[in-house]
Amino acid sequence: MPVPVIAIFDIGKTNKKLFLFDESYRIVFEKSAHFEETIDEDGDPCEDVRSLQQFLLNGVTAVLNLQEFGVRAINCTSYGASFVYIDADGNNIGPLYNYLKPYPPGLQKQFYDTYGGEKLFSFQTASPVLGNLNSGMQLYRLKYEKPDFFSRIKYALHLPQYLSYLLSGKAFSEITSIGCHTNLWHFQNNDYHYWVKKEGVLDKFPPLAPSDMVIQPGTSAYSHSIGIGLHDSSAALIPYLVCFKDPFVLISTGTWAISLNPFNQNPLTKEELECDCLCYLQYMGTPVKASRLFAGHLHDAGVERIASHFNKNTDLYFDIEFDGEALSRIDTTFDPNESPQSVLSALHFNTRDLSDFSSDTDAYHQLLFDLLVQQYASTQLITRGTAVRKIFVDGGFGNNSVYMNLLAAFFSQMEVYASSIPQATAIGAALAIHDAWNAESFPSNLIELKRFAPKIVIPT
């Protein structure tokens, strides 16, 4: 008898993946692809929509032909801040513009001058000023720079919802994509911001549907339940929301260390906005407050400096164990009362003289200490005044002994864990529509945890 499974497409900027999960959320099949970017009409790099379509449709055909598995449902998750445009005939028109495409400064000024200024508007939409990363600004640009093209748009679909549309033929907007630094959602009013209607952009959006909605079998080209897709950041948080009911913060680490607090419902403050904080809506429709630190990039740049100075290979620093005695030989000056803006403005390690360190191990501990001063300030922005008592760290820094031990020391009043969940984003997309395909209860062992108790005292 075929094993009941769900098919999940997890579409990243670099890697495109297809997974089959069984009812215990074990991966029983996976396939990945990578294809080259194309360019838009300005010569800027962008996603190749045709290749993406082919990967999706060929992938569905392939897994439906696997005799050992019975696909009950399909869902998609992908990066945000990216629209695919379809016309009245349901065909894709225009490129999938890259969210890193430079935004016209004059048009940006026109927008914020018209709608209350950057500070007020950012407060209302919980969206720092990020150019094309505020995906609503892409539609504003098209209206004023390409009005003929804008008029041809029947629907603007965020990428996760476009992937679902390819499978179901049904167009929807979805809250985790609309409510993530898009400039589209007024968080105080819990509705689209009034500019969206005034500029005629609201007409370009299909109906807003809940994240756990599925298109039922028989109403699309496939006889399977099809989810409407989720933004990847929200999808990656779902396993934690399912497994843990006590308030927690998740620090998702990679090039960025993004601290996510689903239990902070307070509006963004001026200070938080100035420190690169934002809010987005998680799959149940409530806000998640987030802060960002360029930690992975800062770490790697610091490692390059250390390796060059001490004539070492950078690979050596991936496995350095925490050495409490090294802290007695480095500068651990820390002022907990220094303003977050000041702490986050620059990494102190970048101005340190490496000749002051007797070994590369000491220099590395200094780099991590300085980085954790910033991490503490960044995460504190979204945890202070809340009931959070647990911190989970996933991604690269969760495997870094020095980082984890210092984090436990800075947050000695909390329980600090390194967490591991393979393919968390894809599993989150499967969990979002669990009831539509899975007869079993939620598994309790999805996430592997390792606790780090504080070994040193850092007065905070």
pLDDT tens digits, one per residue of 157-205: 999 999 999 999 999 999 999 998 999 999 999 999 999 999 999 999 9
pLDDT value of position 220: 64
Neighbours of 284 (CB within 10 A): 15
pLDDT value of position 457: 81
Tokens matching residue 224: 């399977």
Q: What's the CA gap between 279 and 147, in Å, rounded?
A: 31
pLDDT value of position 256: 87
pLDDT tens digits, one per residue of 38-84: 999 999 999 999 999 999 999 999 999 999 999 999 999 999 899 99
Q: Is the pTM of this model over 0.85?
A: yes
Domains in the chain with CATH codes: 3-228 (3.30.420.40), 232-460 (3.30.420.40)
Spans of the chain, pLDDT less than 70: 218-221
